């Protein structure tokens, strides 16, 4: 019986260790409304200003961070460094338009970015993943593309309007999921489980985006073999890991402004295929031991 218990313990440890590792998460519950959120690597401006900032806001008893920017000279940034040996990451969050604002250009929005450790995501060159949300209900994906001759082009992709499924003064809360894979140039792909249990495949140096559980995919000419978006900057093709999460009000604002609520942020590791195999092996071992134990009782 002691042997059975030991085997079960090992199997459980294998299974538990194979679950997705959470790197960073927050729902702003412990933060004070009216102040900047705490526990982040960098908050800019350090305290909410009249025209821009990241300010904790309580809406119907629930805290969220309000990313707003009506300044024509500076943006607002909320950034978190992380260190992991894993090359696959899953970022999830909730977002809500906080005002009915039509962007003046296709750059004035809330940027959700993953990029280089310690480097500001306010700089485009530091972003591998760059997904933009606009106050008119549309989005934009900034993606790269490697040409057959090996050269690299940056090809931003702009969606149609009202991509959140709402318009006018309707302010619904939406989910955003980004799956990113640094990988190795010419290396293996990485499988992941998307929203609702859907299965996806990431090519090296690519990312996949879901809004409200729906996979965003555009013309095959600007996506990778598995329908993903390639990292927007070629400099990341020599890197195997990402190291900073950023929420940035991007683009020189005007009177139109940028105004979003963000909540329930979670950043976790996508288990590698070998880890998933260990999970399966651990589960089968546990089931087998339990069956043998029942027979011997």
Give pLDDT tens digits along the chain (297 positions).
Answer: 443 434 333 334 334 444 679 999 999 999 999 999 999 999 999 999 999 999 999 999 999 999 999 988 889 999 999 999 899 999 999 999 998 887 777 788 999 999 999 999 999 999 999 999 988 888 889 998 877 777 888 877 877 667 887 878 889 999 999 999 999 877 899 999 999 999 999 999 999 999 999 998 765 567 888 989 999 999 998 888 999 999 999 876 555 789 999 999 999 999 987 544 434 444 444 445 445 544 454
Pair (13, 147) in one structural domain: no
CATH number of the domain bearing residue 94: 2.60.120.560
Pair (115, 173) in one structural domain: yes
| pTM of the shown model | 0.86
Pair (46, 153) in one structural domain: yes
Pair (88, 14) in one structural domain: no
Pair (252, 294) in one structural domain: no
Quote the pLDDT of residue 294.
47
Pair (12, 36) in one structural domain: no
Pair (15, 48) in one structural domain: no
Number of domains in the chain: 2
Quote the pLDDT of residue 19.
62
Question: What distance in Å separates the CA atoms of residue 132 and residue 158, rounded to the nearest whole number?
Answer: 9
Using an 8 Å Cβ cutoff, are 55 and 68 in contact? Answer: yes
Pair (255, 295) in one structural domain: no
Pair (220, 176) in one structural domain: yes
Range of the domain at 246: 22-270
Q: SS3 sequence, the chain?
A: CHHHHHHHHHHHHHHHHCCCCEEEEECCCCCCCCCCCCCCCEEECCCCCCCEEEEEEEECCEEEEEEEECCCCCCCEEEEECCCCCCEEEEEEEEEECCCCCCCCCCCEEEEEEECCCCCCCCHHHEEEEEEECCCCCEEEEEEEECCCCCEEEEEEECCCCCCCCCCCCCCEEEEEEEEECCCCCCCCEEEECHHHCEEEECCCEEEEEECCEECCCCHHHCCCCCCEECCCHHHHHCCCCCEEEEEEECCCCCCCEEEEEEEEEEEECCCHHHHHHHHHHHHHHHHHHHHHHHHC
Pair (60, 14) in one structural domain: no
Using an 8 Å Cβ cutoff, are 182 and 239 in contact? Answer: yes
Pair (286, 227) in one structural domain: no
């Amino acid at each position: 019986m002691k042997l059975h218990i030991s085997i079960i313990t090992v199997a459980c440890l294998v299974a538990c260790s194979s679950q997705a590792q959470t790197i960073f998460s927050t729902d702003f519950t412990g933060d004070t409304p009216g102040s900047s959120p705490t526990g982040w690597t960098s908050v800019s401006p350090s305290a909410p200003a009249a025209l821009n900032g990241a300010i904790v806001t309580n809406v119907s008893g629930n805290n969220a961070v309000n990313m707003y920017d009506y300044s024509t000279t500076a943006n607002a940034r909320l950034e978190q460094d992380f260190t992991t040996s894993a090359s696959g990451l899953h970022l999830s969050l909730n977002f809500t338009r906080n005002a009915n604002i039509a962007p003046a250009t296709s750059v004035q929005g809330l940027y959700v970015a993953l990029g280089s450790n310690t480097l500001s995501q306010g700089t485009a060159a530091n972003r591998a993943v760059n997904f933009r949300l606009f106050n008119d209900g549309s989005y934009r994906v900034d993606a790269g593309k490697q040409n057959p001759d090996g050269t690299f082009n940056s090809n931003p992709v702009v969606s149609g309007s009202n991509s959140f499924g709402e318009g006018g003064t309707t302010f619904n809360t939406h989910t955003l999921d980004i799956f990113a894979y640094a990988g190795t140039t010419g290396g293996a792909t990485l499988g992941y489980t998307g929203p609702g249990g859907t299965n996806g495949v990431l090519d090296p140096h690519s990312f996949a985006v879901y809004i409200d559980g729906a996979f965003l995919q555009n013309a095959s000419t600007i996506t990778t073999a598995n329908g993903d978006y390639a990292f927007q900057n070629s400099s990341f093709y020599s890197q195997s890991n990402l190291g900073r999460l950023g929420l940035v009000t991007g683009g020189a604002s005007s009177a139109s402004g940028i105004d979003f609520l963000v909540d329930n942020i979670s950043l976790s590791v996508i288990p590698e295929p070998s880890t998933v195999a260990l999970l399966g092996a651990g589960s089968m071992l546990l089931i087998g031991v339990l069956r043998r134990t029942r027979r011997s009782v």
